[in-house]
């Protein structure tokens, strides 16, 4: 388990993390989301003892990271994929990490196989692509067979096959009882990976909820329909208690209803239907809406003259 308790971090005048409290439970993948500059990496760095909190504390397995005697055996982390010694081979890099944490050499070959780098294990890490570097970082995180895994943007730079692999790996770790904290910018990716969701913006907690509750609350379904008699359809929908609006182009948007239901209602009124399309507001949109007022860095598109 990871416990974040009233955690804050200031850099001079800048408050990067602001009075954050949440718990990351075992047996689940917890997605940690927020826009650029929200404070995700800073929080993870404090969990891993790489940054000192200005206030509050972060506990790993009930203790601050600094008090763990063989930390890689308790918590594995992927923070910066370029954090490897470029002149070393993948094998040498992992062997050095294993030696400093009392982990047998045999484990190095195992994790290299697990992340698919066995065939390049003697190449210098410097020659690795971004995706291979991510795989090596994940191998390092898994080296000590830890019960807690912290991954900062693990799918960054991975090809689609790699993205699916990381997703399955995290689910497997959670199924084995591990505590998995994974940061991302991508709400849709988290929706299919994480069981629990923590969203922060400007260092503050916005959402701490089961993923299924967040999805139920924020993905709204509707149907867009073009018919011969818009007013007739609107009246019929309203008579069945279905919220709807007429768009400027005359199409009817019905909320929280299926295509089949709207089709049945139109048919019952003998209204000719020319077009129907299901509408789903994406979770990505919900995430952007939630964080839009809280975004630290936003690109400004210049209007065309």
Closer residue to ligand ATP in complex, CB, 36/70: 36
Closer residue to ligand ATP in complex, CB, 39/133: 39
Among 31, 34, 144, 162, binds ligand ATP (CB under 6 A): 34
List the x/- string, 140-179, binding to ligand ATP by CB under 6 A.
----------------------------------------
Cα–Cα distance between 89 and 149 in angstroms, integer? 24
DSSP annotation of 63:
B
Among 38, 78, 169, 191, binds ligand ATP (CB under 6 A): 38
Contact between 42 and ligand ATP (CB under 6 A)? Answer: yes
Among 21, 36, 127, 245, binds ligand ATP (CB under 6 A): 36
**Could you give the angle at the alpha carbon of 171 between the alpha carbons of 287 and 16, nearest 5°?**
40
Residue 273 in contact with residue 264, Cβ under 8 Å? no
Q: How far is the CB of 54 from ligand ATP (least distance, A)?
A: 12
Q: How far is the CB of 195 from ligand ATP (least distance, A)?
A: 21
Count of residues that bind ligand ATP according to CB under 6 A: 13
C-alpha torsion sign, points 50, 56, 60, 62: positive
Q: Which of the residues 186 through 245 are near ligand ATP (CB under 6 A)?
A: none
Number of H helices, E strands in the chain: 11, 13
Among 39, 53, 144, 222, binds ligand ATP (CB under 6 A): 39
Number of residues written out for the chain: 305
- List CB contacts of 86: < 8 A, sequence separation 6 or more: 124, 125, 126
Residue 144 in contact with residue 101, Cβ under 8 Å? yes
80-to-55, 140, 283, 300 alpha-carbon distances in Å: 25, 11, 27, 28
Cα–Cα distance between 238 and 256 in angstroms, integer? 13
Closer residue to ligand ATP in complex, CB, 27/37: 37
Range in contact with ligand ATP (rule: CB under 6 A) among 36-44, 130-138, 221-229, 262-270: 36-44
Contact between 50 and ligand ATP (CB under 6 A)? Answer: no
Q: Which of the residues 8 through 27 are near ligand ATP (CB under 6 A)?
A: 11, 14, 16
Closer residue to ligand ATP in complex, CB, 89/134: 134
Contact between 37 and ligand ATP (CB under 6 A)? Answer: yes
Cα–Cα distance between 242 and 197 in angstroms, integer? 31
Closer residue to ligand ATP in complex, CB, 12/241: 12
Strands (E), 99-242: 148-152, 179-184, 196-201, 204-210, 221-227
The two tokens of residue 183 are: 């940061």
User: Which residue do the tokens 């077009």 mark?
Assistant: 275
C-alpha torsion sign, points 80, 85, 87, 89: negative
Closer residue to ligand ATP in complex, CB, 111/189: 189
Q: How far is the CB of 38 from ligand ATP (least distance, A)?
A: 4
Q: Residues interacting with ligand ATP, by CB under 6 A?
A: 11, 14, 16, 34, 36-42, 185, 296
């Amino acid at each position: 388990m990871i416990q974040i308790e009233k955690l804050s971090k200031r850099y001079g005048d800048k408050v990067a993390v602001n009075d954050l409290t949440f718990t990351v439970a075992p047996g689940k993948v917890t997605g940690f989301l927020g826009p650029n500059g929200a404070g995700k990496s800073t929080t993870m760095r404090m969990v891993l003892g790489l940054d000192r909190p200005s206030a509050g504390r972060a506990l790993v397995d009930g203790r601050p990271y600094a008090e763990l005697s063989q930390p890689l055996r308790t918590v594995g982390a992927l923070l910066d994929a370029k954090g490897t010694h470029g002149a070393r081979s993948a094998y040498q890099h992992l062997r050095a990490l294993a030696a400093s944490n009392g982990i047998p050499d045999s484990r190095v070959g195992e994790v290299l196989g697990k992340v698919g780098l066995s065939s390049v294990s003697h190449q210098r890490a410097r020659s690795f692509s971004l995706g291979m570097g991510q795989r090596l970082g994940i191998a390092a995180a898994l080296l000590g067979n830890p019960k807690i895994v912290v991954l900062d943007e693990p799918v960054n730079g991975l090809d689609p096959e790699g993205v699916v692999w990381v997703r399955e790996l995290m689910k497997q770790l959670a199924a084995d009882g591990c505590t998995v904290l994974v940061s991302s910018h991508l709400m849709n990716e988290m929706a299919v990976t994480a069981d629990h969701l923590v969203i922060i913006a400007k260092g503050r907690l916005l959402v701490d909820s089961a993923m299924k509750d967040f999805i139920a609350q924020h993905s709204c379904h509707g149907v867009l329909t073009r018919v011969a008699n818009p007013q007739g359809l609107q009246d019929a929908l309203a008579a069945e208690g279905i919220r709807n609006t007429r768009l400027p182009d005359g199409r009817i948007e019905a909320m929280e209803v299926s295509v089949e239901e709207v089709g049945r209602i139109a048919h019952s009124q003998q209204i000719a239907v020319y077009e129907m399309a299901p509408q789903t507001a994406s979770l990505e949109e919900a995430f952007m809406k939630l964080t839009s007022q809280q975004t630290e860095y936003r690109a400004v598109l210049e209007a065309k003259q």
